[in-house]
A and B are shown apart, each in its own frame.
Chain A
Amino acid sequence: MATVLVNGKEVEIGANERLNCIQVASKVGEEIPAYCWHPELSVVASCRMCLVEVGDKKPDGTVAMQPKLVPGCQTPVKDGTVIVSDSPKVQEARKATLEYLLLNHPLDCPTCDQAGECYLQDYSFNYGRGYSRLNEPKNIKPDKEYIGDQITLFTDRCIMCTRCVRFTREISGSAELQVVSRGSHEEIDIFPGHPVNNPLAGNVVDICPVGALCSKDFLYQQRVWWLKSTNSVCTGCSTGCSITVDQNEDRVYRVKPRPNPQAQGHFMCDEGRFGWKYTHSDQRLVSPEIRVNGQVSSRDWDQTVISVRNAVKKAAAGKGKLAAVLSPWMTVEEAWLLSSFLRSLSPNAVLALGPVRVTGHDEHFPKDVHGKPVTPTKFTIRAEKAPNRNGVQAVLSHFTGDVMPFEELLRLASAGQFSTVFLTGGDPEGWITELQAEAFSDVESVIVQDFLPSPVLQHATHILPSGTFVEREGTVINHKGLAQLIRRSVRGPDGTRPDTRILWELAERTGLPQTEVLRREISTAIPALAALTNPELRELGTLLSTAQPAGASA
């Protein structure tokens, strides 16, 4: 155990913790401002914003301070380190550095996307001098015309922290970005003909502390102070990156990674970053339907739910069997609601796991010049695109032991085994082919709960328009058994309902749909998922005690 003094406050750090001054100070709420330092990137100590006074506390109690200011990012702490970040000397140095950084900055905050979440603004407000003493014309560098499909570079706003350059070298490994020219003329640029289009390119926008690198997708869409952020999880693949969803008036504008060492680290891939667009697709299913002989007989939610419930109950009571497909895009709570309801009606109800989409191979970063992954791996885009196979499998195996694959259910359906099937979709890329849908052509009641049209709709007798991941709440369990909470951040289009609500009403539960209640039920019923009630679930997620939940197979 080591003790460090930050502005007179004592901080205890663990024996194996290797921290720099910035990290230690943040533990006691002391901010040491920094631009070039980023926890996931190498230390360059070039912005000189984090200069602090550092000294050593001797065993006899005296403190020997170093005469010069040192960069906090570059200075590791040890037992007895004394850090002073609020002395007049430090404040003067910060003031000077900020004045330098703003000398040639265009101060175009009114038209800059970063305004409101800009470190240049924040630090200038907190530590700066308030006005510039530059009497000469500013040295304004022209913006770059094209550096990538998703990102723009406003060269004049850049403060040369080189975080983006280090990101493309150290995390993506693609090294498209570089510094050209020298001294006050230097700029970030690409080598001609090699734009930043790697699968992680969007991250450079997040790590840019100022408004130099902007996302083309988000450019001029919203002022950031209009946005409301919700912590959630990306459902684009089984990595399950922690994210924040930024929305305004029920429209999502962007998704940003939320640092989570247990899930993905600090970054996310562009596939996930821009992969939420289907939420606002004009193809969305926006009205419940009951179809009789191919004709819509009702578009009323209450009637549809009652009709679905009757169809399910009829199958449970009658000769034909009842079956359901649980999509790996469902949350654990939704899978639990549906399975437990169907099994309570008929202990023989067949439950199968929906199709798990796998695209190519896991893609590891960084890559070398030949495109081969280099260890240590800093980021992985997984081939398994379903976010919650582990969670749904855990629920299914609780009820059925072995988990029935989708193909087996299709075979049984084609053989006329079922009178009612309850199908859940959720894969925005489509989860069923025309040919597979034929299996349900002779089934009496085909209930489809999905948010986008699919070939199976032509055989559907009931359509339940559900919500996308930004409209629902519930738990997803990623590839290594990390349970995290996705949260509702927008209301779905009129006519749609979040899945939990649909299933809650279907199961004739009373009161408002509450995922908390469901998690408590699940944790009592399924030992492998007992940890779902941990409070950490709401923040960085909780790692289930068994790395692979029961029933999970490779």
Chain B
Amino acid sequence: MPAFEPVLFARINKPDSTSLKSWQADGGYSRLKEFLSMAPADVTNIVKDSGLRGRGGAGFPTGLKWTFLPKDHPGPIYLAINADESEPGTFNNRYLMEKDPHQLIEGIILACHAIRSNRAYLYLRYEYGTSYRVLDAAIRECHAAGILGKNIQGTGFDLDIILHRGAGAYICGEETGLIESLEGKRAWPRIKPPFPAIEGLFRKPTIVNNVETLCCVTHILYRGIEWFKSIGVQPDPSNPRDPGSFGPKLYCVSGHVNRPCCVELPLGVTARELIEEHAGGVWKGRKAKAVVPGGISMGFLSDKELDTKLDFAGPGKVGCLGLGTAAVVVVDDQTSMVDVLHNCCRFMSHESCGQCTPCREGTHWMTKILERIRSGNGRSEDLDLLLEVAGSMGIIPGTTICGLSDGAAWPVKNAINKFRPEFEEYIRSRKSSVTSAQKMMAAH
């Protein structure tokens, strides 16, 4: 197998990589006119045939999503770009936006052409100040160069990108929560159906795509379907419903490693390879105890499962929820899983939008139980209670309005099922991770 050559990250270390000139020097926008003169359906078909799956977490086939738009809709149709990157441990979109904005903008233009949209809303996480400034400058440059705005390069295609800074909530990254937030409302995810492709932003058909997904669209069009399909994992022949995991993917590795990094690799790399070869191994010479495969809502891999392939199907085979954002967080063997799980639950409880009863109350309850365990007052029956609560929050994925509830329940299910002896020992020995100072704080 030939050495993998990064594509998405090909330019991030170049000087002046954010400028229009530099992107054009590397061939960017060179075939834009050609692609814009293609029929929108043809562009959609290319993306569909490439097998590109959304990089935001759910892995839904991008081209298929585009075809859900109503045919012959008089418009407007909107594209919303989800840049509200807030899954803990995830920072791939940030690199893409800060270092190579034109790669994204070209993807946006191509996607908008494919879905016949003349307006794209880029929903940017508020905390990403640098990304905002870089993208803002890049969009201005494009307008000045006739790459955005009216009649792009004489093709008759109009497009405006509206850069919208978010309001600092995890739930704004949920497809419909993002749409509500864009409309100026509380980011409460909507009930589906109708799906956004039928009725989304401002009650118009809307496609919501992740930043990395759109960057891939750029390269699929320039390099072709064959190139894209040559990378990654082929569909499992024994499972006719598996569309495969094609293309390059940005993996973020963080946590207890020597060299936290964001690295572009073909889909299907193992967690062990990521840690050992790209992140410099587990820090302080320790061993990994647990690894989050793709953001904490996907659950945990135990140390025995490190050879799991991190493609769209892999983590699911070992009881995780999925690949998620491919944000790998490493937990070393000196860290208590009780503390790790408590941290996950605290995050989810803080970020639950509060709409659905199971998520609003369940996340908070699980956090309280774990707080009690951490203060040395755990009971052996708490573990089964936690499992039951987690079980009723997502009876099977999808019993609440959005996926946050499932994502909050999954790490609990995984951690207790895979590390039960550790939890039992923690409770039996009345260990406590809370200092007396923290206890005093909690009492007030």
Contacts and interface: CB of A to CB of B under 8 A. Distances in A.
Interface of A: 43-49, 51, 67-69, 71, 74, 89, 92-93, 96-97, 100-101, 103-104, 133-136, 139, 159-160, 179, 181-186
Interface string B332-368: 0000000000000000011111111110111111001
Contact of A48 (B351, B352, B358): B358
B392 A96 contact: yes
Contacts of A179: 186, 354
Interface stretch (B212-220, B394-402, B426-434): B394-402
Contacts of A43: 191
A160 B360 CA distance: 10
B287 interface: no
B381 to A, nearest CB: 9
Given A136-B368, A139-B364, A182 B399 contact: no
A184 B361 contact: yes
B191 A44 contact: yes
B372 interface: yes
Contacts of B361: 100-101, 103-104, 184
Contacts of A93: 392, 395, 399
B357 A48 contact: yes
B198 interface: no
Contact of B353 (A51, A134, A136, A182): A182
Given A96-B358, A160-B354, A136 B369 contact: yes
A44 B399 contact: no
A160 B356 CA distance: 9
Which of A43, A45, A51, A74: most chain B Cβ within 10 A? A45
B169 interface: yes
A136 B353 CA distance: 22
B38 interface: no
A18 to B, nearest CB: 15
A77 B261 CA distance: 51
Given A68-B399, A69-B395, A49 B357 contact: yes
A68 B396 contact: yes
Contact of B349 (A46, A100, A104, A183): A183
Interface of B: 169, 186, 191, 349-358, 360-365, 368-369, 371-372, 379, 385, 388-389, 392, 395-401
Contacts of B352: 182-184
B432 to A, nearest CB: 16
30 contacts: A44-B355, A45-B191, A46-B355, A46-B357, A46-B401, A47-B357, A48-B356, A48-B400, A51-B399, A68-B396, A68-B398, A69-B395, A69-B399, A71-B191, A93-B392, A100-B361, A103-B361, A135-B369, A135-B372, A135-B379, A139-B364, A179-B186, A179-B354, A182-B353, A183-B351, A183-B363, A184-B349, A184-B354, A184-B360, A185-B354
Interchain residue pairs A-B with the least CB separation, the first 7: A96-B392, A184-B364, A100-B361, A183-B352, A186-B354, A136-B368, A46-B355
User: Could you tell me the dominant secondary structure of chain B's interface residues?
Assistant: helix
Contacts of B354: 160, 179, 181-186
Which one of A71, A100, A186 has the highest number of Cβ atoms from chain B below 10 Å of its Cβ?
A100
B383 to A, nearest CB: 13
A477 B400 CA distance: 47
Contacts of A104: 361
Nearest to A138: B368
A150 B365 CA distance: 34
Contacts of B372: 135-136
A84 to B, nearest CB: 14
A139 B352 CA distance: 16
A97 B392 CA distance: 8
Contact of A92 (B350, B365, B389, B392): B392
A56 to B, nearest CB: 16
Contacts of B401: 45-46
A159 B360 CA distance: 10
Nearest to B351: A183
Nearest to B364: A184
A160 B354 CA distance: 8
A261 B237 CA distance: 58
Contacts of B399: 48, 51, 68-69, 93
B390 to A, nearest CB: 11
A119 to B, nearest CB: 13
Nearest to A162: B355
Contact of A101 (B191, B353, B357, B396): B357
A184 B398 contact: no
A425 B271 CA distance: 87
Nearest to B190: A44
Contacts of B389: 96
Given A44-B191, A68-B399, A101-B357, A183 B364 contact: yes
B191 A100 contact: no
Contacts of A71: 191
B443 to A, nearest CB: 11
Contacts of B191: 43-45, 71, 74
Nearest to B379: A135
A182 B353 CA distance: 6
Given A48-B358, A97-B392, 12 more contacts: A68-B396, A68-B397, A93-B395, A96-B389, A100-B362, A101-B357, A101-B361, A135-B379, A136-B368, A160-B354, A160-B360, A182-B353
A34 to B, nearest CB: 12
B357 A97 contact: yes
B365 A100 contact: yes
A177 B381 CA distance: 41
Contacts of A181: 354
Contact of B360 (A51, A69, A183): A183
B342 to A, nearest CB: 13
Residue in B357, B362, B396, B398 whose Cβ sees the most chain A Cβ within 10 Å: B357
A220 B191 CA distance: 38
B350 A183 contact: yes
A183 B396 contact: no
